[in-house]
Structure 1
C-alpha cells in the first residue's frame, strides 16, 4: 500500500467569527475542501491518502514543521499583504523557498499563498492597479488549466487586490481574468497555485464581504457588486480534486 502523503497546512490568518465557529482555523476550511475533492476522486475522505497537520504561522514564527518531516505544503490565504516585510511574512517566504528548493516537497498556494510562492520564486508581487476581485468570478483557463481542473472555464471565489505580476521561469500558466493575468501556476510534481479561493463557500464569502463593508474596505457600490455574487455556483470542489490528483502525481 502506498504511504499516505504528509501534508502540512500553513495557516496564514485566522477566520472571522462565524467561519471559526464552524471550522476552527483555516486548516479546518481546507480539510473540508480536501475531503470533498477526495470524495470526487473516489476516496472515502482525504484521510485515505493524506496525513494532514495544521500549523498557525501568522502568530507563531516557531510553529513550522521540519521540511524533512513533510511531503507537501499548503499555504492558505490571508488578509495580509504578501509583498509586506513583517517578520512572520519574511520567515514564510524563506521557509517556502527552502521547501521549493528541496525539489521533493510539493507546494500548493492559495490566494496569499499563491503570491508567497511567486515571491519565493523571485516574482514581483504587489497591489493590483485594477483593484479588487471578490466573490465568484470567471477565470479563463489555459489548456493546462483545463487539463488540471477538468472544466473549460473556472468559476471561483476571489478576495484579493494584490497579485503576482509574472510567472516564474519554467512554470505554466493555469489561467487569467480581466483583472488578474496570473490566476495560477503549475510545475509537475512540484507546485500548483491558484489566486482564487476554492475553499470558500457562500456563507464564508458573505461574512467577509459584509465585514469589509462594515469596516469601510468596500464602499456601498462595491458591496452591492460583490454581495450579489457570493452565492453563485462555483468550481471549488473541482480545484480540490485537482489538488488531490497533484498530491498523487
Structure 2
C-alpha cells in the first residue's frame, strides 16, 4: 500500500465494500463494520511510522464505506484513483452464486479494479478473498456445507511457518 509520510503523519485512504450486515450482538458491542474495520486498520500501523500525536490524528486514515448488497453502491471512477486500497468484507453469501445480482456486480467491479486501476491494492476478508479469486480467474468451490466463522486452528506447512512464525 502506498503510504505518504511526513515527520508526524502517515496518510492512507481505503474504500471498504460492505458485503454483509453484522449480527446485532457484534454491532452492539463493537460498532458497525466501518468502525470495526477502521479500528483494526488504525491499530495495524507500525508504531515506527507514527508519532504519538499521529496515533490520535483522525487525518492519517480515511476509510469510506460502500453498501454493495442493499444499495449496490461503489466508488466512482474519480474516487477509485484517490484510494490506496479497496477492501472487500466477509459475508454469509456464496461467492460462487453467480445468479445473484449484487455478487455479479461485485465480481465485475473487482475485475475492473484489477484491470484498470492496478495501483490500487485489493484486499478481501473470507468472502471478499473468494470474490477476488473469481475476479482474477481463480476458482471458489463449495465447502460441503461447512461454513467457517471466527478463529479456526490450522496446521502450517514449513513454508507457512517461515512466513508466519
**Structure 2 unpaired stretches of 5+:** none
**Cα contact 2:89–2:128 (8 A) shared by 1:** yes
Q: For 1:65, which of 75, 89, 110 is the aligned residue?
A: 75
CA deviation map 1:112-165 (0-9, x unaligned): 001000010111212113834444223326637853xxx32xxxxxxxxxxxxx
Higher strand share: 1
Name the structure, 1 or 2, with higher relative contact order (CA <8 Å, separation 6+): 2
**Cα contact 2:110–2:132 (8 A) shared by 1:** yes
TM-score scaled to structure 1, two decimals? 0.52
Q: For 1:10, which of 12, 17, 27 is the aligned residue?
A: 17
**Cα contact 1:12–1:75 (8 A) shared by 2:** yes
Q: For 1:54, which of 61, 65, 70 is the aligned residue?
A: 65
Q: CA deviation at 1:55?
A: 1.2
Cα distance in structure 1, aligned partners of 2:57 and 2:162: 23
Cα distance in structure 2, aligned partners of 1:46 and 1:124: 41
TM-score scaled to structure 2, two decimals? 0.76
Q: CA deviation at 1:18?
A: 1.4
Q: How many residues align?
A: 148
Give 3-state SS (helix, strand or coil) of 1:138's partner. coil
Equivalent position of 1:99 in the other structure: 113
Q: For 1:125, which of 140, 150, 157 is the aligned residue?
A: 140
**4+ runs of 1 displaced by more than 6 Å?**
none
**Structure 1 unpaired stretches of 5+:** 153-249
Equivalent position of 1:110 in the other structure: 125
**Cα contact 2:133–2:140 (8 A) shared by 1:** yes
**Cα contact 1:71–1:105 (8 A) shared by 2:** yes
Cα distance in structure 2, aligned partners of 1:29 and 1:141: 31
Give 3-state SS (helix, strand or coil) of 2:91's partner. coil
Cα distance in structure 2, aligned partners of 1:145 and 1:4: 32
**Cα contact 1:35–1:45 (8 A) shared by 2:** no
Equivalent position of 2:40 in the other structure: 33
**Cα contact 1:12–1:76 (8 A) shared by 2:** yes
Cα distance in structure 1, aligned partners of 2:46 and 2:140: 34
> How big is the alpha-carbon RMSD for the aligned residues of Structure 1 and Structure 2?
2.7
